Amino acid sequence: MVFKTISKAGVALILSVLLSGCQSIGYYSQAVSGQISIWAHQRDIEAVLSDPSVDTQTRARLQIALRAREFASHTLKLPQNESYSRYVDLERDYVIWNVVATPLYSVDAVQSCFLIVGCVSYRGYYHKEAALEHAQQLKDDGLDVYVGGVSAYSTLGWFDDPLLSSMLARSDAAIAGLIFHELSHQRIYIKNDTRFNESFATAVERIGLRQWATAQGENQNLEEYLALQKKRNDVVQLVLRQREQMRKAYLDNVSAGDEKLTLVKQAQFEILKKRYTELKLSGGGTLGYDRFFASELNNASLALFGEYHGWVDAFERLFEDSNQNWATFYQAVNRLSKKRKVERDQALRLLSI
């Protein structure tokens, strides 16, 4: 096992990257200890592959990851560093659990703000128990709350991110796409604009996967992956439309009192579940979303929908306008990132037409 030595300066940097002055010392502690634990358990992938105790499925997926990592740097022009050259067996399903909160009668998430990454719509915890404890505190404060597991995240190039066992429970194409997606955050990331960041990374993932499939001769795997992605995107669009109807319904009844707003809220979620059932009957939906819609939904459970897809079409158009040249494309995206948000959104909106 290869251990990474963490200096006091390194710990201080973790604090500055992951945390902000408005968070509690307890949150500081779990973030630092969680990240250090991951570093402490990472092993070079080549060493893992030479370990006879490693099962065949894990071995095959690690080999896919290594090929995808090389492709990302050499073909997609993503950062060439030590990220995803090491492996960590988490011995759990997720690396972190995100806690999302909204007011009882709003679809807009409460923001958590951090020194380097800016404001985001969630707070992440390395231990599920800590996430659930924080979620209960938010519920006690009268908020809608949702807790969801996450299989991967990016430290935005501040550190070399390892490949995690939670990232391997997916198809070959999905593993490659996830590596492309996370490395994209290291290439370009701007504060306080989750939609821009995630849409850019999703576009790189999708374009990169098409090129990867051609290079690997795995078009069937790509077609299966894209078909599943289309089903997922259809659900996202369904939720986004319903969420905007919810927003309007809450605003239209804001002066009617909590009793009326509660009835409005119940009716809106009944409509949403009915429309998902209709989508399923027409051949849409996925097993994952079946479980999601069978659970107890609230405003917070819908808050993050759309963040990964809002400007994807615009970025794909920008790639075409860049003559499908990655360096030219990144230069264009970087110029967009320098604009004020209102100007940036307007430019992306025009590209989406």
Spatial distance between the Cα atoms of 174 and 229, rounded to a whole number of angstroms: 10
pLDDT surpassing 80 at residue 23? no
Helix (H) or strand (E) holding 353: none
Residue 87 token pair: 């492996």
Helix (H) or strand (E) holding 147: strand 143-150
Nearest to 164, CA basis, from 262, 250, 65: 65
pLDDT confidence band for 1 (50 / 70 / 90):
very low
Pairing outcome for strands 96-103 and 163-164: unpaired
Residue 86 contacts residue 160 (beta carbons within 8 Å) = yes
pLDDT surpassing 70 at residue 348? yes
> For residues 24 and 332, which has the higher predicted lDDT (pLDDT)?
332
C-alpha dist (Å) from residue 269 to 272, 274, 285, 297: 5, 8, 17, 7
> For residues 135 and 221, which has the higher predicted lDDT (pLDDT)?
135
What's the pTM? 0.83
pLDDT at 100: 95
Q: Classify each residue of 274-304 as buried b or exposed e, where b means 16 or more C-beta atoms within 10 Å of its C-beta.
A: ebbeebeeeebbeeebeebbeeebbbbbbbb
pLDDT surpassing 60 at residue 334? yes
Spatial distance between the Cα atoms of 291 and 268, rounded to a whole number of angstroms: 19
**Stretch 247-255: mean pLDDT:** 95
- How does pLDDT run across 34-89, given as a tens digit for each residue? 989 999 999 999 999 999 999 999 999 999 999 999 999 999 999 999 999 999 99
**Stretch 147-167: mean pLDDT:** 91
Residues 165, 167, 169, 175, Cα dihedral to 10°: -130
> 10 Å Cβ neighbour count for 54?
15
138-142, 199-203, 214-218: which has the minimum mean pLDDT?
214-218
pLDDT at 220: 74
pLDDT at 13: 47
